[in-house]
Amino acid sequence: MFSFLNIAKLKKDDLKGIAKLMYRDVSDDSWDKENLTKRNWDFTIESIRYIDMYAKRLINTDFGTELLNKHFDNFVVRIGAYIGEVIKNYINQDFYWYESDSVRNYSPSLDEELSDSKTQSVLYSKKRDMVILPLNVVSQFLKGNSPYSDLLTYVEEVIKQNT
């Protein structure tokens, strides 16, 4: 009777602040202090090279592996949020961070694409009715089962597809 009251609403999720933690919340490690700086992490495509160096350090060192094991979800959200913000800056369209469940409810046509999404946040464009899943890609990459050899390749591919 009142089906219009059940219209699904999108729930925004502000990950830009979390992305900034990549250079604001830095460990005492000398490499981190030297490379995880606001100057290097300026939300440009070139800054993704630092993401790749950082991610590979996490994956390939004992210290990094230990950190990943303890704080995997935090790394996925921070790195994924940063990459997503870079993508947003370059494609300059109506992509915004939303809770993935709200996008799934709002746009059933994306249900299949979001079915594998283990993350809580996605970039979604209402106009284009499409999602970008940087947190999922980062999760796969950090687990060692990504189709991309590095995260820069992913970023460049997504930007190219959406400009």
User: Could you tell me which residues come within 8 angstroms of residue 121 by beta carbon, excluding any fewer than 6 positions away?
Assistant: 13, 15, 77, 80, 81, 97, 98, 99, 100, 135
Q: Length of the chain in residues, anyone?
A: 163
What's the pTM value of the predicted model, to 2 decimals?
0.89
Note whether 105 and 124 are within 8 A (CB).
Answer: no
Can you say whether residue 40 is alpha, beta or left, with left for phi > 0 and alpha for psi between -120 and 50 degrees?
alpha
**Structure tokens, 92:** 């300059």
C-alpha dihedral (94, 99, 100, 101), degrees to nearest 10 = -130
Per residue in 129-162, pLDDT (tens digit) is 999 999 999 999 999 999 999 999 999 999 999 9
pLDDT at residue number 119 = 67
